[in-house]
Amino acid sequence: MLTLYSINMDPTEKIIVRLEPDTMAILQALVDRGEYDSLSEGVSDAIDKLIASKFTPKEIAKILNEQTRAKPIKMESLLTDDDPESMDEAVRKAVREYVRSRMDSEE
């Protein structure tokens, strides 16, 4: 029996943020004077502060608990009796679709 879990080896996610040139200059100045080690660290700190200003710690814990409660999916449940695909082919197809979606989201 094959069970799929969403596993992310890297504990962080990557996003693209567009900033005005003036904002970038100010953020770079914070990095240059040693307040942050990188632009990413500065942006991450700003987002952490935004989240803390919008949610209580209890609300954050509830959101994170709901996110981690996702149940594993049994591959067999995705195949129907009249489905001509084998389990191996279904896995290959799922991996192809996942890779395609990740590549499309980065463009």
The full DSSP string for 9-47 is SSS---------HHHHHHHHHHHHTTS-SSHHHHHHHHH
- Helices then strands, each counted (H, E), the chain: 4, 2
Domain boundaries in the chain? 18-70, 72-107
Going from the first residue of the chain to its last (107 residues), give the mean pLDDT of each consecutive group of 10, the final group possibly shorter.
46 84 96 95 94 94 78 63 68 82 73
The per-residue pLDDT for 30 is: 97
The per-residue pLDDT for 7 is: 46
CA-nearest of 20, 33, 4 to 91 is 4
- Determine if the pTM surpasses 0.85: no
The per-residue pLDDT for 105 is: 67
The per-residue pLDDT for 99 is: 85
The per-residue pLDDT for 46 is: 95
